[in-house]
Amino acid sequence: MDFLKDLNQPKVYELKKAFCLFDLDGDGVISEQDLRNTFLTLGVNKSDYDIDAMFDGVVQPLNLDVFLLLILQRANGLAPQDAMVGAFRMWDKANVGYIDKERFIRDITTFGDRFTVAEAKEALEDAVITRGPQLNADGQLMEKLDYMDFAESISGFQKTDHK
């Protein structure tokens, strides 16, 4: 697995843990039955057609190496964490690691490749949000996005320092 040496190791570890969650029988391979049982565990009954479609074009057996390559191929277009942090810093004039959540939503729904408001809010569902001490225009404590944490969760798998 030489391809792993240039990747963000904590994220690779997360992928290895995810693999184990799918490999329900512990044989080192994610089978169609493993995937079907994973969905059933989540309360979702997938048809044989759906399960087959998920495996369409996937190298078999779907062991850890193949799983990692598959995920990394799908995530190939994601920017590394340092690039994401650099982009978020545009909103952080004080360089404190937090940005105004409402302004961020307004900007990404207004400029560039626009998100809908629903898409923007969905994207931030798992982000760390804090309140205060500043007040917003309505006199409420301002909600702030911890963009360092957010960048880590949405970035690609490349290492951010190539030393």
What pLDDT, on the 0 to 100 scale, is given for residue 85? Answer: 87
pTM, 2 dp: 0.53
Query: Cβ(98)–Cβ(114) under 8 Å?
Result: no
The confidence band for 82, taking pLDDT boundaries of 50, 70 and 90, is confident
Statement: residue 15 has pLDDT above 90 = no
Between residues 35 and 6, the one the model is more confident about: 35
Same domain, 149 and 88: yes
Number of domains within the chain: 2
- Exposed (0-12), middle (13-18) or buried (19+): which is 111, by Cβ within 10 Å? exposed
Can you tell me the mean pLDDT for 83-100?
Answer: 89
- Give the domain extent around 131: 81-155
Predicted confidence (pLDDT) per residue in 31-52, tens digit: 999 999 999 999 999 999 999 9
pLDDT over 80 at 27, yes or no: yes
Q: Which of 41, 76, 111 is the last residue of a domain?
A: 76
Q: How many helices (H) and strands (E) does the chain have?
A: 8, 3
Last-in-domain residue among 58, 76, 94: 76
Per-residue pLDDT at 6: 60
Beta-carbon neighbour count of residue 84 at 10 Å?
Answer: 21
Domain finish residue from 76, 99, 133: 76
Torsion of CA 161, 73, 26, 12, to 10 degrees: 10
**The pLDDT value given to residue 162:** 37
pLDDT (0 to 100) of residue 156: 65
pLDDT classification of 163: cutoffs 50, 70, 90: very low
Domain membership flag for residue 117: yes
Q: How many CB atoms lie within 10 A of CB 31?
A: 18
Q: How far is CA 147 from CA 84, 96, 133, 136, 155, in A?
A: 9, 10, 17, 19, 11
